[in-house]
């Protein structure tokens, strides 16, 4: 199918994006990589009257190391994220996103704003305790990733706000494990392990409407438990729902196994 008609604005600055979104009165949408938005438009699941293309705004696509964090510009393509050397966990996660032609266009900020419960970057954001910075009519604000995701495909971003960058702490040890039916498919379960300031954080994707921390599993490790005990705790603390691709018990079992693998990769036994 073809998209419904819309007005196209090629923004030259973040200010212009915000002005255009404000003027669109909730009918505006930001076009970044387009790898999730354009299918939504083509299937007419959304019909925004204005699309604001941010692809030509300079300076939004860089990845820079800043102390113990890595700052990822909102327009950073997944292919760039996969190749950068500052944040190995992000690089590994980016390699799991879609296919080559998707990774060359799709963006970090777009993936996080889209908030698909099975997408890789939101889980890394929650797992590492990333901070999301967004611009709006009242200036910029920052939010922990854990407070950004509200439910499936829904964030606390206002209609006239735009993510400008995401700050990911660099873990001292990390693991990433994903189970999908085919390479490049959306994940059934994603597990991210990140050791930040001597504590091991575990986040899961695909097991609920938003990425979740496996707090009970983290507690098991903090109390000196084994990786296997932590994996069992993780599978017990989640409430996955069944769908076409897997029953709830199957997802629970996969969550335990992905946590076990991610912990093993991180060197946590």
Partner 1 sequence: MDVTFSVNGERVRVDVEPRHTLADVLREQCGLTGTHLGCEHGVCGACTVLVDGQPARACLMFGVQADGSSVVTVEGLAGDDELHPLQEAFVVHHGLQCGFCTPGMLISAMHLLDTDPEPTREKIREQMSGNICRCTGYIGIVDAIAAAADVMRSGDTGVSDRVSARAQETPSHIEEPKRSPPPGG
Q: Which residues bind partner 1 (CB under 8 A)?
A: 1-8, 10, 31, 34-35, 38-39, 42-43, 51, 53, 55, 79, 98-102, 104-105, 182-184
Q: List C-alpha distances in Å: 26 to 23, 49, 237.
A: 8, 9, 37
> How big is the chain by its Cα radius of gyration, in Å?
18
| CB-nearer residue toward partner 1: 65 or 181 | 181
**Measured at the alpha carbon of residue 71, what is the angle toward residues 69 and 72, in degrees to the nearest 5?**
135
| CB-nearer residue toward partner 1: 185 or 229 | 185
Q: Do residues 135 and 13 touch, judged by C-beta distance below 8 A?
A: no
| CB-nearer residue toward partner 1: 79 or 133 | 79
| CB-nearer residue toward partner 1: 93 or 231 | 93
Residue 181 CB, nearest approach to partner 1 (Å): 12
Indicate the DSSP class of residue 212: E
CA dist 94 and 88 (Å) reads: 10
- Within the chain, what is the greatest distance between any pair of CA atoms? 58
- Alpha carbon 261 to chain centroid, angstroms: 20
| CB-nearer residue toward partner 1: 43 or 150 | 43
Residue 55 CB, nearest approach to partner 1 (Å): 7
Question: What are the structure tokens assigned to 203, written together?
Answer: 């986040």
Residue 49 CB, nearest approach to partner 1 (Å): 11
**Tokens 């091991």 sit on residue:** 200
Residue 128 CB, nearest approach to partner 1 (Å): 26
Residue 44 CB, nearest approach to partner 1 (Å): 11
Residue 233 CB, nearest approach to partner 1 (Å): 34
Q: Do residues 142 and 133 touch, judged by C-beta distance below 8 A?
A: yes
Residue 159 CB, nearest approach to partner 1 (Å): 20
Q: Do residues 259 and 231 touch, judged by C-beta distance below 8 A?
A: yes
| CB-nearer residue toward partner 1: 101 or 222 | 101
**Tokens 């800043």 sit on residue:** 66
Provide the pairing of β-strand 69-73 with 131-136: unpaired
Beta bridge pairs of residue 7:
50
Q: How many C-beta atoms lie closer than 10 Å to residue 4's C-beta? A: 12
| CB-nearer residue toward partner 1: 19 or 105 | 105
């Amino acid at each position: 199918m073809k998209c419904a008609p819309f007005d196209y604005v090629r923004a030259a600055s973040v200010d212009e994006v915000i002005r255009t979104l404000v003027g669109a009165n909730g009918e505006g949408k930001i076009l970044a990589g387009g790898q999730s938005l354009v299918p939504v438009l083509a299937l007419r699941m959304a019909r925004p009257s204005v699309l604001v293309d941010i692809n030509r705004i300079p300076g939004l696509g860089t990845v820079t190391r800043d102390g113990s964090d890595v700052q990822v510009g909102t327009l950073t393509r997944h292919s760039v994220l996969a190749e950068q050397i500052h944040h190995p966990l992000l690089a590994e996660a980016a390699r799991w996103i879609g296919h080559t032609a998707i990774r060359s266009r799709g963006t970090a900020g777009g993936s996080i704003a889209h908030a698909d419960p099975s997408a890789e970057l939101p889980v890394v954001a929650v797992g590492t305790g990333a901070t999301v910075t967004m611009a709006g009519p009242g200036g910029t604000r920052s939010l922990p990733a854990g407070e950004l995701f509200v439910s499936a495909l829904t964030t606390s971003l206002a209609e006239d706000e735009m993510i400008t960058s995401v700050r990911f702490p660099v873990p001292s040890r990390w693991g990433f494990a994903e189970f999908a039916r085919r390479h490049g498919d959306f994940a059934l379960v994603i597990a991210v392990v990140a050791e930040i300031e001597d504590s091991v954080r575990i986040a899961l994707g695909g097991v609920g409407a938003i990425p979740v921390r496996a707090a009970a599993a983290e507690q098991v490790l903090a109390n000196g438990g084994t990786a296997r005990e932590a994996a069992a705790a993780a599978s017990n603390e989640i409430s996955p729902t069944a769908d076409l691709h897997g029953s709830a018990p199957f997802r629970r079992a996969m969550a335990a196994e992905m946590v076990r693998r991610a912990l093993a990769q991180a060197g946590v036994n």
